[in-house]
Structures are given as structure tokens and as C-alpha cells.
């Protein structure tokens, strides 16, 4: 189930297979050969799926670009990956890709030519035939690290660990080819494609949606599986609360369950949420309303690491270690280490070469995250390694909880805490100019931060603050394409030139 020209439509498996073969034939005529790099840049759509399948069939390697990436970054990534062909749904970026010497195909049925729909029609009219290329054991796609700790790096992924992981998911959560999966997050996000390709192999139904239509599509098409991030889960929870309030369901027996059914549909088996920490209070509310939500944890390079599963779910944790691997923490740093036979990383991208990385399944690999494993085996993730700062007294301060407290108290859209003079902490408070509340005054922020400090340990307390009447963005490099703060860039851009104000006054 997808949309064409804004109209909801259904596509069968034979139609999808035919369209992918025709597009592969068209791409081959445009010079795409085994080993070529082809960038795919756009929102979730049937044409995105076709583009990725066609690239696979030609033996080429797809390069997944986030649709939210700034134009310059998208072009630079495609160039770094060695792409000569790009499929995009953004007209403005198409011109930039062409200026960089790349052959551009427009995703969808846009009037601009060449387009995916147009190429399929041309190949069909020419009665082109295509024999899929045997890919062997090589990688099928190139993705990038998140970029939260440093500049993003490209690496290649092989399909075997993704499909193995999904086989284990099917066993643990009890789903298969009879299920219907809702996808609305960008397909450039690797876990989306992990579920997509496994589901294609099983004959699963798919609903290709987008953030603006997920509620309507969920309610109308009743998916059994739903993949979310904390921000979208919070949005859907609020929609359910609004429905419960309007329909007088609040406080009634089973009221929230009815409201959730209005938002998520009536056939839901599992909602998987990950990518960032989810508020434990939100998860507890969802569970109380009967929603089968499971927070899971992994990294782009190492694959899945921790899972909440039916019968073993604990809000505030990312569940227990994957049954086919193990997790522990470094006693000196608290960093989470994982031992897994299924890392997603296949090899490093070094210009035209992909250099395979040998991953010993008996070796403990660092995740870059700090956390703990409790006596029942549940894993808690506190934050990234760089979410901690070391003070001169040797103590380490975990910044995320301080930042969340400061943002909540002041009404800031985002707070970034950093060292200002080597030993003291300062908070940069970002306020969304479009917010009805606007930015707090200097005195209001100071008063709110004083209250926050009263609840903090002395070495966690904020000594200064700076107010910014704008939000950090993907465009200025301070957020990743998935909306995560890039601490090193925020400090570089906003920390050095901040006008620091004393919290004491």
C-alpha cells in the first residue's frame, strides 16, 4: 500500500518485481554496472523501494542519503561515496547533483525527466529484459554513522546479519508473512530496510506512509507491526489523549485502549521504538493502555544489542542482551560493550574501495554508549560517552539529565551543557522562535536554573547560561539527519562565542 500522486493505491508483489526489473534494465542502459555506487535520496515511497531493488538487481551498491540532509551535505556524501548516478525526489538538489557531474533520475512521476516512472515506461515499451546479477557475499548498501560524536563516516553493509536478526525477531515477537508493517521513517534508516527486505522475502504486506499520514494510515489500514522513534511515539500518544478527551474516555475502564486503537489501528502486535531513549513514564502509560510497545537498542555499526520482548519488558531499560550475543560494561569507564556474531558493519569505505572489517564474534566491541546491566540482566543506557564531562576533581558528570532538567524548567526547546572554563558548567538554552511561549527572559531563566541547581549535586550545578533565540538545525550541522544533537558542533558554533550570564546573578 503506497501513494502515487497523493492517491493511496495498492501494488502487488508481481507488479513490484516487474517494475524493479524494468528499472534495473533502464539503469544498466544509463551505465550502472556491478560495483557502481548509486545514491538514493528521498522520502519513503514505492519509488524509493523500486530504486533500491533495481540497484540490487544490477549488482551495484546503493548509497542511502537522508532526505533531511542539507543539499551541500547530500552532494558531498554522494561524491565521497563515488556515486555517478543519483535518484532524488528533491528538485532543488537535482540541479546540485547534476552540477557535481552526476546522472540524476527523479524519484516518482515528476514532470521532470528522466524519472523512475518514465524509465520504467520506456523499458517496458522497448521490451527490455534483464537478468539479475549474482551479488555473491558482497555488500549491498553504504550508510553513514550517526555523526553524534564526530563527523559521519561511510561504511558498507552486507545483508546476512540483517536477515539473521529479523529471523530472530520473528521468533521472539511472533510475526511472519501474514503481518502488515507500517513504514513511515526514511528508508535511508537501516533498520527500516532490514524489516522491509525480510518482509519482502516472507510475502508481508506493507504500508508506505509518512509522518503527516501515519495516524490516518494506521487507523484505516490496521498494521500489525509499527516502527517508531520516541518523538513520533510521543506525538501518537498525544493524539490518543486528545481523542480520549474529546470522546469522554479519560478515566473510564479501557478508555485509553479504545483511544489507542483509534490511532494505531485494531490489529497491533508490536510497536518497536528505538534510535534514542524513550521516556519511561510514556512507556508505562502506553503499557497501561494495553499497547504492545517494545524499546530496542542497537547501533548502526554493531546491529541489535538489547531487546525488550513479550514477557520481559522493563520501561527505563533497553531490555536484556540479544539472545545470540552478550553485553557487559567496562568497569573503568562504564562503556557498554557487546559481543555479537551479527554486526551490520561489513567494511570501511575508502574512496573507490570497500575494505572488509574482520569482526571476531568472541571480541567485545565498544558501542560509544555508557550504561549499566542490573542484576536481572536488563541494560540501561545513560548516554553517549561524550555526554559525560570529566571535572578536575576526577568526577564525571552525566550531562543529558542536567540538560533535560534545565530545558524543562526554562521552557527551552533544547539545552546543551558544556564546560566554560575547564571546571564549571554552562548551559546554552535554545528557544524556538515559532513557539507561542517564546524565549524566557534573562531573569526567568536564572530563577528557573537556580531551582534546578538545588536538586543537583554540587559538581553538577550550572554556573552560567546563554540564551539563543533559535534552534540548532541539520543545516548548521548541529543536528544529525535524525534530529540528534551533535555536541561537538554545538560547542564549536555556540559555545565559543556565547555571552555567558551568571546563574547567581
Domain harbouring 377, CATH code: 3.40.50.12780
Q: Is 329 helix (H, G, I), strand (E, B) or coil?
A: strand
Residues 312 and 399 occupy one common structural domain: no
Residues 178 and 313 occupy one common structural domain: yes
Long-range contact pairs involving 157-163 (C-beta distance under 8 Å, separation at least 24): 157/190, 157/344, 157/345, 157/346, 158/346, 159/197, 161/303, 161/342, 161/343, 161/344, 162/190, 162/193, 162/194, 162/197, 162/198, 162/303, 162/344, 163/194, 163/197, 163/198, 163/201
Residues 186 and 279 occupy one common structural domain: yes
Task: In whole angstroms, give the CA distance from residue 329 to residue 373.
Answer: 7
In a domain, 153, yes or no: no
Cα 226 → chain centroid: 14
Task: In whole angstroms, give the CA distance from residue 451 to residue 90.
Answer: 47
- The Cβ of residue 362 has, within 10 Å, a number of other Cβ atoms equal to 6
Q: Provide the domain limits for residue 55.
A: 14-136
C-alpha cell at 341: 556474531
Task: In whole angstroms, give the CA distance from residue 432 to residue 472.
Answer: 9
What pLDDT score does 353 carry? Answer: 83
Task: In whole angstroms, give the CA distance from residue 199 to residue 167.
Answer: 10
Residues 414 and 462 occupy one common structural domain: yes
In a domain, 317, yes or no: yes
Task: In whole angstroms, give the CA distance from residue 195 to residue 200.
Answer: 9
Residues 67 and 214 occupy one common structural domain: no
Instruction: Read off the CATH number of the domain in which 431 is found.
Output: 3.30.300.30
C-alpha cell at 364: 567485545
Residues 164 and 106 occupy one common structural domain: no
pLDDT digits (tens, 9 = 90+) for 218-232: 888 889 999 988 888
What pLDDT score does 295 carry? Answer: 94
Residues 224 and 316 occupy one common structural domain: yes
In a domain, 142, yes or no: no
- Give the residues of the chain that fall short of pLDDT 70: 1-7, 109-111, 146-152, 393-396, 422, 436-439
Instruction: Read off the CATH number of the domain in which 97 is found.
Output: 3.40.50.980
252 phi, psi to nearest 5 deg: -90, 155
DSSP H or E run through 47: helix 46-58
Residues 297 and 434 occupy one common structural domain: no
Residues 186 and 235 occupy one common structural domain: yes
What pLDDT score does 418 carry? Answer: 87
pTM, rounded to two decimals: 0.81
What pLDDT score does 300 carry? Answer: 84
**Alpha helices, H only, 147-306:** 159-173, 190-202, 214-221, 230-246, 255-264, 280-288
- The Cβ of residue 340 has, within 10 Å, a number of other Cβ atoms equal to 24
In a domain, 300, yes or no: yes
What pLDDT score does 380 carry? Answer: 92
In a domain, 349, yes or no: no
CB-facing half-sphere around the CA of 468: CA atoms within 13 A: 19
Q: Count structural domains, the chain.
A: 3
Cβ atoms 419, 425 nearer than 8 A: yes
| Site of grid cell 558544556 | 418
Task: In whole angstroms, give the CA distance from residue 70 to residue 86.
Answer: 16
Residues 28 and 104 occupy one common structural domain: yes
Residues 287 and 418 occupy one common structural domain: no
**Alpha helices, H only, 302-414:** 399-410
β-strand partners of 456: none
3-state secondary structure 471-497: CCCCCCCCECCCCCECHHHHHHHHHCC
Task: In whole angstroms, give the CA distance from residue 268 to residue 310.
Answer: 14
pLDDT digits (tens, 9 = 90+) for 20-35: 999 999 999 999 999 8
DSSP H or E run through 48: helix 46-58
What pLDDT score does 164 carry? Answer: 93
Cα 157 → chain centroid: 16
Q: Which residues lie below 8 Å from residue 216, measured CB to CB, with a gap of 6+?
A: none
Residues 427 and 454 occupy one common structural domain: yes
Adjacency order of strands within the sheet including 303-307: 205-208, 180-183, 225-228, 270-273, 293-299, 303-307, 320-321
In a domain, 223, yes or no: yes
In a domain, 319, yes or no: yes
β-strand partners of 381: 371
Coarse DSSP helix, strand, coil percentages of the chain, rounded to the nearest 5 percent: 35, 25, 40
| Site of grid cell 519513503 | 44
In a domain, 129, yes or no: yes
Amino acid at each position: 500500500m503506497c501513494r502515487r500522486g497523493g492517491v493511496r493505491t495498492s501494488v502487488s508483489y508481481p507488479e513490484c518485481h516487474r517494475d524493479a526489473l524494468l528499472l534495473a534494465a533502464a539503469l544498466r542502459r544509463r551505465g550502472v554496472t556491478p560495483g557502481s555506487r548509486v545514491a538514493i535520496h528521498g522520502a519513503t515511497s514505492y519509488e524509493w523501494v523500486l530504486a533500491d531493488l533495481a540497484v540490487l538487481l544490477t549488482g551495484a551498491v546503493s548509497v542511502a542519503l537522508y532526505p533531511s540532509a542539507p543539499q551541500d551535505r547530500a552532494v558531498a556524501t554522494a561524491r565521497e561515496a563515488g556515486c555517478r548516478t543519483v535518484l532524488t525526489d528533491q528538485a532543488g538538489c537535482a540541479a546540485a547533483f547534476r552540477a557535481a557531474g552526476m546522472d540524476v533520475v527523479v524519484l516518482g512521476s515528476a514532470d521532470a525527466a528522466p524519472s523512475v516512472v518514465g524509465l520504467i515506461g520506456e523499458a517496458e515499451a522497448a521490451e527490455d529484459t534483464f537478468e539479475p546479477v549474482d551479488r555473491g557475499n558482497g555488500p549491498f548498501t553504504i550508510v553513514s554513522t550517526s555523526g553524534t560524536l564526530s563527523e559521519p563516516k561511510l561504511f558498507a553493509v552486507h545483508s546476512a546479519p540483517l536477515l539473521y536478526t529479523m529471523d530472530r525477531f520473528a521468533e521472539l515477537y511472533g510475526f511472519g508473512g501474514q503481518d502488515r508493517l507500517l513504514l513511515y521513517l526514511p528508508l535511508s534508516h537501516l533498520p527500516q530496510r532490514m524489516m522491509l527486505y525480510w518482509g519482502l522475502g516472507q510475502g508481508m504486506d506493507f504500508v508506505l506512509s509518512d509522518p503527516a499520514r501515519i495516524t490516518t494510515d494506521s487507523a484505516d489500514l490496521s498494521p500489525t507491526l509499527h516502527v517508531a522513534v520516541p518523538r513520533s511515539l510521543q506525538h501518537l500518544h498525544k493524539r490518543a489523549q486528545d481523542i480520549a478527551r474529546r470522546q469522554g474516555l479519560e478515566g473510564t475502564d479501557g478508555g485509553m485502549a479504545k483511544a489507542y486503537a483509534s490511532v494505531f489501528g485494531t490489529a497491533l502486535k508490536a510497536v518497536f521504538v528505538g534510535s534514542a531513549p524513550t521516556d519511561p513514564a510514556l512507556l508505562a502509560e502506553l503499557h497501561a493502555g494495553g499497547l504492545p510497545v517494545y524499546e530496542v537498542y542497537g547501533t548502526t555499526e554493531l546491529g541489535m544489542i538489547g531487546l525488550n520482548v513479550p514477557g520481559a519488558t522493563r520501561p527505563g531499560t533497553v531490555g536484556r542482551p540479544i539472545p545470540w550475543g552478550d553485553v557487559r560494561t567496562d568497569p573503568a569507564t562504564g562503556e557498554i560493550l557487546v559481543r555479537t556474531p551479527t554486526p551490520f558493519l561489513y567494511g570501511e569505505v575508502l574512496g573507490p574501495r570497500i575494505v572488509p572489517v574482520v569482526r571476531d564474534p568472541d571480541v567485545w566491541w565498544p558501542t560509544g554508549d555508557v550504561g549499566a546491566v542490573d542484576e536481572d540482566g536488563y541494560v540501561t543506557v545513560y548516554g553517549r560517552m561524550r555526554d559525560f564531562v570529566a571535572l578536575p576533581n576526577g568526577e564525571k558528570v552525566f550531562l543529558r539529565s542536567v540538560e533535560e532538567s534545565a530545558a524543562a524548567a526554562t521552557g527551552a526547546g533544547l539545552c546543551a551543557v558544556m564546560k566554560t572554563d575547564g571546571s564549571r558548567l554552562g548551559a546554552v538554552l535554545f528557544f524556538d522562535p515559532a513557539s507561542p511561549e517564546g524565549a524566557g527572559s534573562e531573569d526567568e531563566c536564572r530563577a528557573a536554573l537556580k531551582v534546578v541547581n538545588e536538586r543537583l549535586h554540587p559538581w553538577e550545578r550550572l554556573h552560567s547560561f546563554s540564551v539563543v533565540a533559535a534552534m540548532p538545525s541539520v543545516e548548521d550541522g548541529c543536528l544529525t539527519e535524525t534530529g540528534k544533537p551533535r555536541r561537538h558542533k554545538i560547542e564549536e558554533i555556540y559555545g565559543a562565542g556565547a555571552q555567558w550570564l551568571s546563574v547567581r546573578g
